[in-house]
């Protein structure tokens, strides 16, 4: 267990850490996130007794690091994997650390195997890749079989296999009841590895939250691909959703709010006008800072009236509510009215829909007779959530 209480560190005029309070609990992997210079390393150094706090305190298992009775068995750390003597072999390096901590040679062999360096044990560290140095740093942290692990950017320089290995190692160490604190800039990896996140900005605590809760808070809607985006977009808005057509860019996809599908009069507006009397079952998604609130159907109706004045003033046969209530959505489907130019080929566009669940989007598509080629709940990445929180 790590307890950080009102921890503050000043370097001259720089306030690196300011009144930071959080716990790092056993049995979990806790991710420590923050932009460059946010104060993560300074905090870790203070927890490890390497830098003295200006005020406040950091405790490991209830005491300051320097007061631990058997520090190597209680806490293991890796702060900078480059801080090793290149002239030594991996084995000699770990052996020297083990000797200082009263740890036997057998454990050195064990940790070398655990981190995948057994084959390179006798090689000089100077010839190690960055990934191998990281593994060596992790081996050193594990040497005393400690109950608390503190790792600063342990995934740096690891290849994808190495990153997966590290994730499994950290998760298994936590499942044994150990306390694991790690910092990383690899957000996807952090979201897969960490049970809990502590996010800081300019030395202050921004979030201390379970990873799943944070991601759920920023859940960002449903991606739907359809050959009838204009009609589907309007139907979804009538059902209370907020809809952004997606444009594909060289770097990926992004919402494109000014796309004509959202601004041009809809050719099937009369049909949509009629749908106002045809309630579509909806399952609103939870709202939060990462989601737009659902608009009420009546609000959308008013907006739609403004957007499609002709449809309201001169309703066609389909504009009669009774006619639509009796309408067969499949018979009247746009797929039939506007068949795709190539059968079996996916045409049309994509919409990012917020304010409705994927099930509700599917129901709306069915009721409005719009074919759907793909329907995917879109989860906000940790990176997106992090950027929004720390802006
Ligand atoms: N020894 C030091 N002397 C003076 N200023 C320092 C010292 N160590 C850190 N700082 C400053 O304290 C602030 C926090 O730095 P720190 O290294 O803790 O951030 P970080 O979150 O670990 O950043 P990064 O992700 O880049 O490693 C920065 O403004 C940094 O320049």
The tens digit of pLDDT for each residue in 100-147 reads 989 999 999 999 999 999 999 999 999 999 999 999 999 999 999 999
> Measured in angstroms, how far is the CA atom of residue 106 from the centroid of ligand 1?
37
Classify the complex by whether its ipTM is higher than 0.95, answering yes or no: yes
Give 365's pLDDT tier (boundaries 50, 70, 90): very high
Beta carbon of 16 within 6 Å of any ligand 1 atom: yes
**Residues 26, 163 within the same domain:** yes
Q: Per the domain annotation, does 263 fall within a domain?
A: yes
Section 233-256 average pLDDT: 75
Q: Which pTM does this prediction carry? A: 0.70
Show which of 200, 217, 234 is a domain's final residue: 217
Section 284-307 average pLDDT: 36
Give 82's pLDDT tier (boundaries 50, 70, 90): confident
Q: What is the dihedral of CA 237, 243, 245, 251, to 10 degrees?
A: -170
> Measured in angstroms, how far is the CA atom of residue 218 from the centroid of ligand 1?
29
Q: What are phi and psi of 149, to 5 degrees?
A: -125, 135
Q: Per the domain annotation, does 105 fall within a domain?
A: no
* Alpha helix positions (H), 239-296: 260-263, 269-275
Domain hosting 368: range is 222-390
**Residues 251, 354 within the same domain:** yes
Beta carbon of 40 within 6 Å of any ligand 1 atom: yes
Beta carbon of 13 within 6 Å of any ligand 1 atom: no
Q: Per the domain annotation, does 196 fall within a domain?
A: yes
Give 280's pLDDT tier (boundaries 50, 70, 90): very low
**Angle value at C-alpha 352, between 347 and 356, nearest 5 degrees:** 120
> Measured in angstroms, how far is the CA atom of residue 141 from the centroid of ligand 1?
22
What pLDDT score does 51 carry? 96
Best CA proximity match to 151, nearest among 165, 164, 140, 162:
140
> Measured in angstroms, how far is the CA atom of residue 203 from the centroid of ligand 1?
10
Strand order in the sheet with 14-24: 14-24, 2-11, 55-60
**Residues 243, 359 within the same domain:** yes
Give 377's pLDDT tier (boundaries 50, 70, 90): confident
Give the separation between CA 354 and CA 294, rounded to whole angstroms.
7
What pLDDT score does 381 carry? 84
Tokens describing residue 157:
């320089």
Beta carbon of 45 within 6 Å of any ligand 1 atom: no
Beta carbon of 231 within 6 Å of any ligand 1 atom: no
**Residues 192, 236 within the same domain:** no
């Amino acid at each position: 267990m790590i307890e950080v209480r009102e921890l503050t560190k000043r370097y001259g005029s720089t306030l690196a850490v300011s009144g930071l309070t959080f716990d790092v609990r056993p049995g979990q992997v806790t991710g420590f996130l923050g932009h460059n210079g946010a104060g993560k390393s300074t905090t870790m150094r203070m927890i490890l007794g390497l830098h003295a706090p200006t005020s406040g305190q950091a405790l490991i298992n209830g005491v300051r690091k320097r007061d631990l009775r058997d520090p190597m068995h209680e806490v293991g750390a890796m702060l900078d994997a480059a801080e090793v003597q290149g002239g030594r072999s991996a084995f000699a390096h770990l052996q020297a650390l083990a000797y200082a901590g009263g740890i036997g040679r057998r454990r050195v062999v064990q940790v070398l195997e655990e981190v995948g360096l057994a084959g390179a044990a006798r090689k000089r560290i100077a010839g190690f890749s960055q990934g191998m140095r990281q593994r060596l740093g992790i081996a050193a942290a594990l040497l005393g079989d400690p109950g608390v692990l503190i790792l600063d950017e342990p995934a740096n320089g690891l290849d994808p296999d190495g990153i997966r290995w590290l994730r499994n190692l950290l998760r298994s160490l936590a499942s044994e009841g150990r306390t694991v604190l790690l910092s990383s800039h690899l957000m996807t990896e952090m979201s897969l590895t960490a049970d809990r996140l502590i996010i800081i900005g300019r030395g202050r605590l921004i979030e201390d939250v379970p990873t799943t809760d944070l991601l759920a808070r920023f859940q960002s809607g449903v991606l739907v691909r359809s050959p009838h985006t204009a009609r589907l977009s309007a139907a979804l808005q009538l059902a209370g959703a907020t809809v952004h057509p997606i444009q594909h860019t060289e770097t990926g996809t992004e919402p494109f709010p000014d796309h004509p599908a959202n601004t041009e009069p809809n050719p099937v507006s009369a049909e949509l006008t009629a749908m106002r009397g045809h309630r579509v079952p909806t399952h609103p998604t939870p709202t939060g800072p990462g989601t737009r609130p659902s608009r009420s159907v009546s609000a959308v109706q008013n907006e739609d009236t403004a957007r499609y004045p002709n449809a309201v003033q001169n309703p066609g046969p389909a504009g009669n509510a009774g006619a639509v209530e009796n309408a067969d959505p499949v018979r009247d489907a746009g797929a039939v009215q506007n068949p795709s130019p190539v059968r079996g080929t996916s045409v049309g566009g994509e919409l990012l829909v917020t304010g409705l669940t994927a099930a509700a989007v599917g129901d709306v598509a069915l009721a409005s007779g719009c074919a759907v080629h793909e329907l995917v709940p879109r989860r906000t990445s940790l990176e997106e959530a992090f950027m929004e929180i720390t802006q």
